[in-house]
Chain A
Amino acid sequence: MAKVKGAIVVDTEVCKGCEVCIPVCQDNVISMSKEVNRKGYHYAYMSNPEACTGCTNCALVCPDRAISVYRVKVTD
């Protein structure tokens, strides 16, 4: 059966660490990093990349559009 796998890339310098992307991610892929960017914000990163389906929910709610989404179909 075809499965969908996704991945996100966060522009860490654009991310302001508002965490709005975390509750909208149904697969709990995103967490906030312990490190900070040049502005001093903790940025979002994929802590659970296996679960990402590339649904784009996180990117849609990101006010700064720091998230790019990639998606690919995988056939087992």
Chain B
Amino acid sequence: MDVLDIIKPENQVFCKTKLMTDTTLSYCPGCGHGTAHNLAMEVVDELGIVEDTIGVAPVGCSVLAYDFMNVDITQAAHGRAPALATAISRLWPDKYVFTYQGDGDLAAIGTAETIHACNRGEDIVIIFVNNGIYGMTGGQMAPTTLPGMRTSTSPYGRETSSMGNPLKITELVANLPGTYYVTRQSVHTHKHVRKAKKALKTAFENTRLKKGLSFVEIVSNCNSGWKMNPIESNEWMEKHMFPFYPLGDIKVKGKLK
């Protein structure tokens, strides 16, 4: 059978969701942000909640999320996305509100907002993309940087004796009574992408239950910041990031696993 006989509209099984705009993503080649954006929008599309979804973009690499996601979306001051999402979800309790944040936004400058929104149990979804580095500003050390990991501000590796310990914010918020669903996923292979999509779907569905906040961490790569090519950075992530940030559900239906 010729390839041209297969490539027909009726045989199409996968294409880019219409909820992503045609704007070229500003991310580096191989960055997990693109996959995470697309997954979030595919879930919104599949649940049929486009009209009722409001997003909050952060500051960081994904600050331009409002240019890429074709849903109602606003942008918050650095780290304040959960606070803004709280306001939106309280004013419009029937909407699906989500924030999309990186680790510099959520786990550094926005730690207070994150922890309090989680503790209050707001009915929002937080999508947290963790690559262990400040990607946009030039690969500086972040609170989530692993011990011994080289960054531009810790060129000999992060020394926990002088630079402190990495923050596992996902485990932290899982222990708060306000969170209903807390999970850690990844998007570097097809298997992980399918699992991450399922987790995001559960998170968005949980918004309707009014039982608490859903928190989805996506461990991602930063090949520019880590100074590797995309394939190497994914391998490095599997070898070094996953032992420290183990994948899987941490809290399901309000109960710690």
Contacts and interface: CB of A to CB of B under 8 A. Distances in A.
Interface of A: 5-7, 9, 14, 16-20, 22-24, 41, 46, 49, 54-65, 67-72, 74
Nearest to B6: A7
B13 A63 contact: no
Nearest to A6: B6
A16 B12 contact: no
Prevailing SS type, chain A contact patch = mixed
B44 interface: no
A67 B188 CA distance: 16
Given A5-B6, A64-B25, A69 B193 contact: no
B13 A70 contact: yes
Contacts of A49: 3
Interface string B35-67: 100100000000000000000000000000000
B253 interface: no
Interface in B222-256: 229-231, 234
29 contacts: A5-B6, A7-B3, A14-B24, A16-B28, A16-B29, A18-B29, A19-B230, A20-B230, A20-B231, A23-B189, A23-B231, A24-B190, A61-B35, A61-B193, A62-B35, A63-B25, A63-B29, A63-B35, A64-B25, A64-B34, A65-B15, A65-B16, A65-B38, A68-B12, A68-B14, A69-B13, A71-B11, A71-B13, A72-B6
B210 interface: no
A9 to B, nearest CB: 6
Contact of B14 (A18, A64, A69, A74): A69
A70 B12 contact: yes
A18 B188 CA distance: 12
- Most chain A C-beta atoms within 10 Å of own C-beta, residue among B6, B7, B12, B28: B6
Nearest to B16: A65
A47 to B, nearest CB: 12
Given A18-B230, A61-B190, A46 B30 contact: no
Contacts of A60: 14, 35, 190, 193-194
Given A24-B190, A70-B11, A41 B6 contact: no
A69 B31 CA distance: 21
Nearest to A56: B14
Contacts of A65: 15-17, 20, 34, 38
Given A14-B24, A68-B12, A9 B7 contact: yes
A23 B189 CA distance: 9
Interface in B153-205: 187-190, 193-194
A18 B6 contact: no
A66 B24 CA distance: 10
Contacts of B11: 70-72
